[in-house]
Amino acid sequence: MTDKSKRVPSSRISRLAHLGGLASKVASNVVLSGAKQVLSGQSVSKKELLLQPKNVHAIADKLAHLRGAAMKLGQLVSMDAGDLLPKELAVLLEKLRADAQPMPHKQLVQLLKQNWGPNWLDKFSHLELRSFARASIGQVHEATTESGDKLALKIQYPGVANSIDSDVDNVAMLIKMSGLIPKQVVIDPLIEEAKQQLLVETDYFAEGLRLQEFREGLKSYPAYRVPNFYPQYSTGSILAMEYVVGKDLTCYDGASQTQRDKIATDLIRLFFIEMFELGAIQSDPNLANYLYDDKMQQVVLLDFGASRTINTSLAQGYWSLLRAGQTYDKDAMTDAIYEIGYFSDDIDDAYRDIVLELFFMATEPLRAKQPFDFSESDIAVRIRDKGMDLSTRERQWHTPPVDALFIHRKLAGLYLIAARLRARVEVSDLFSQFVKPACKVEK
């Protein structure tokens, strides 16, 4: 079996050198291919040259080698929504996810010593050096404590936290160069927010505390399982949690309609619980962040790095918005959108109407008189097309509140998972089980 591990560049200079070399390679490919096509009398466009297969592969290979913020930004852009992206970018991101490479054992052991000291192995009866899962900023290993507890250890790639600014800026430059994002879309504020979010996600001990918070908040809901947090083995770069058995959601493509419906229903119910009871959402609806336990009939929640606190006033605004969408009350929805802070007082009427239409599309499952069939709906594509229409209005473009973007990303991702599962969900009935959050009284 071929060892695909590659040492992760950990310093800013080495990471910048890798990205600089990538830019040179891509530019060289563009020039050479362009010259060949011109000489052969073929028409040529910058976008076609930039997105030729060898450049897509070069970019994906380099970002997979760097891991960290470079890969994570790709995931933030994609929202796991390949069908909402230009096919070239979707191919790149899919290859990026598939090609995440493990750290060499020598680099891994060095990290363990830095975090746990020279006698790190004394903490465990066994620690598997081969990772069983890999993500954008870390890889996961199985371990057993001296007392027999089986753990999953998420170990962060070196240099991730210190290289966030430079990595994100360089990947953003590649995205802008590609021409895949409309020029009118102002992504700079979103890039800055991505940096802040990534910085939060690099603190694994803080993620462990979030995991503990969600575990406590969901203990009265048997449909969900949150692994136990082991703070005594955790650091800012290592998250130790209970090893939980389950199957990937992708394994349920051929499951019964009842099984697929239940999984999607539980995921959408969880969104409402997070918004209107917990006051915190896990904002990354990545398929890899969930497992399903057939025996216990439970959704297993794995990743809480992208969690965000939702204040009561924002939750109230979204409850009012969803209720207005459910009852097809456009005036109430407009009021709710203002309450959320989505519109300023001087918003252009035409722009406001397009946004309002987008929200009505997004709440379509709430108005269904029967279980909403996500497999038969093109709701995600229609939302994309309307959103692209919005992005072409350069003078009217308005960057929404950041928390709103993460909430929308979560809901859109859940719709896509439901569509992937070809599920039918009583969304209206689910939402009706939740009341508008009350303002908390200060003691």
| CB 242 within 8 Å of CB 152 | yes
- CA–CA dist 210, 358 (Å, integer): 32
**SS3 state at 126:** strand
- Dihedral pair phi/psi, residue 71, rounded to 5°: -70, -40
Q: What is the maximal distance between C-alpha atoms in the chain?
A: 77
Q: How many CA atoms lie within 13 A of 199 on its CB side?
A: 10
> Counting every residue, how long is the chain?
443
CA-based nearest residue to 135, from 109, 160, 165: 160
How far from the centroid of its chain's Cα atoms is residue 388's Cα? 20
Give catalytic residues, as residue numbers.
Answer: 284
Contacts of 87 (CB under 8 A, 6+ apart): none
Residue with tokens 């709440």: 363
101 closest CA partner among 228, 230, 25, 6: 6
Residue 195 token pair: 């940096």
Residues 6+ apart with CB under 8 A from 235: 115, 116, 204, 205
Q: Which of 111, 119, 197 is nearest to 153 (CA)?
A: 111
DSSP state of 240: E
Buried b (16+ CB within 10 A) or exposed e, 229-244: bbeebbbebbbbbbbb
Query: Whose structure tokens read 């992760």?
Result: 8
DSSP string, 245-314: --EEGGGGTTS-HHHHHHHHHHHHHHHHHIIIIISEEE----GGGEEEETTTTEEEE---TTEEE--HHH
**How far apart, in whole angstroms, are the C-alpha atoms of residue 305 and residue 201?**
5
Helix axes 402-420, 257-273, angle to 10 degrees: 170
